[in-house]
Amino acid sequence: MQTRFIRTLLFAFVILCMSAAAFGAVGVVITVGPPALPVYEQPICPGDGYLWTPGYWAWGDDFDDYYWVPGTWIMAPEVGFLWTPGYWGWGGDSFIFYDGYWGPTIGFYGGINYGFGYFGVGFAGGRWDNGHFFYNRAVANVNVTNIHNVYNTTVSNVTVNRVSYNGGNGGITARATPEEEAAAHERHVGPVAAQTQHTQQAHSDPEQRASRNQGKPPVAASARAGDFKGEGVVKASEAGGRYTTANRADNQPRESGSAPRPESAPGHVRDLPAAERPTAPTSGDTKQDKRNQQQLDKQYGQQQKERQKLQQQQEKEDQKIAKQNNDAKKQQVEQRHQQQTQQLQQRHQQQSQEIQQRMQPAPAARPEARPR
């Protein structure tokens, strides 16, 4: 009787572990960092109701290499659902891929700037309103002749980098907010069948593998899932950074001072591009637009002060360490400066996106349905 009870407990424990793994949405685990994100254009939206899902590097266990899954337009599985992209994250001793999902709100996707509205925090490419999806033409490629539910809100202060993973050496340092963590626990569904088939097709195409295309995939995006040839297929214009099979492991986190800093990761505040002064979106209310611009100017001024303060601090520390004959200490300081710079970059990006989203004007009323 006691033996049967113990077996029952063990069986229940195994089932719980399997359930935790299933709901954790954690995919493969590897020790080699993914390549930088390639540069490519977004193909035109094929029709009303399609949402953009950005491209990403997946891992093929059978051929021991990364392969590029092209960005594509996907019909949302439910009205009101948005896509939270998957991302690679450093787990302490290996890289882990966290699968994307569909849900009512955008969750955490590693702070990765996938572009086209997915700039690291939330989504600025469109929004649902009264059961209809409205596209932001400032970041989404839509044909207004066929799709009339659009608006235009410029997203400013977006830092462009090609870093494709979170954590580790040279990775994005963003952490999930309480709201983003809550989104992962809301009702959501995984990739739809079209996305799964799209990934399988990328997996079966040798030209999509990083070792073959050197980080510049021939099919970077497609207008429709699974379509890798013909009209609507976009190739990468360039790789996101230098990549060869020999140096692929340079993306791995290593002991302090043993690895060079990735080219795409700025090491000091002085390496960051100059921040552009943001412009408030036009709402039609002159007074409100003026107040919005004042808020943006105030935030811009504060961010500039923070940049100057950190830059001065880093330069003083560089001058001090230069007088010491200690290479190990110097490399530690450089890595700390890199982390400080990326944290500042991510914080300012999140602040700017949050205030821009609050200022977005309400979408226009949905047009009357036209007889077909």
Contacts 24+ apart (CB under 8 A), 143-146: 143/44, 143/45, 146/47, 146/48
Contact 112, 84 (CB under 8 A): no
Q: Does 233 map to a domain?
A: yes
State the average pLDDT over residues 79-85: 97
Q: Does 33 map to a domain?
A: yes
Question: Count of CB atoms within 10 A of residue 1's CB?
Answer: 4
Instruction: Please count the structural domains in the chain.
Output: 1
Q: Does 290 map to a domain?
A: yes
Bridge partners (DSSP) listed for residue 133: 128
State the average pLDDT over residues 190-218: 95
Which region among 29-33, 156-160, 255-259, 264-268 has the lowest average model confidence (pLDDT)?
Answer: 255-259
Contact 184, 108 (CB under 8 A): yes
Q: Pairing relation of β-strands 221-224 and 71-75?
A: parallel
**Boundaries of domain holding 277:** 26-358
Q: Does 151 map to a domain?
A: yes
The string of pLDDT tens digits covering residues 255-293 is 333 333 334 456 788 877 777 788 877 777 888 888 888
Q: How confident is the model at residue 182 (pLDDT cuts 50, 70, 90)?
A: very high
Contacts 24+ apart (CB under 8 A), 310-315: 310/269, 310/340, 310/341, 310/344, 311/268, 311/269, 311/270, 314/268, 314/269, 314/270, 314/340, 314/341, 315/270
Q: How confident is the model at residue 253 (pLDDT cuts 50, 70, 90)?
A: very low
Tell me which amino acid residue 114 is.
Y
Q: Does 38 map to a domain?
A: yes
The string of pLDDT tens digits covering residues 284-335 is 788 888 888 888 889 988 988 998 899 889 888 888 888 887 777 777 787 7
Tell me which amino acid residue 248 is.
R
Q: Does 369 map to a domain?
A: no
Q: Token pair of 158, please?
A: 């977006």
Q: Does 7 map to a domain?
A: no
Q: How confident is the model at residue 15 (pLDDT cuts 50, 70, 90)?
A: very low
Q: Does 171 map to a domain?
A: yes
Tell me which amino acid residue 195 is.
Q
The span from the CA of 144 to the CA of 51, in Å, is 15
What is the residue-averaged pLDDT of the chain? Answer: 81
- pTM of the full structure: 0.62
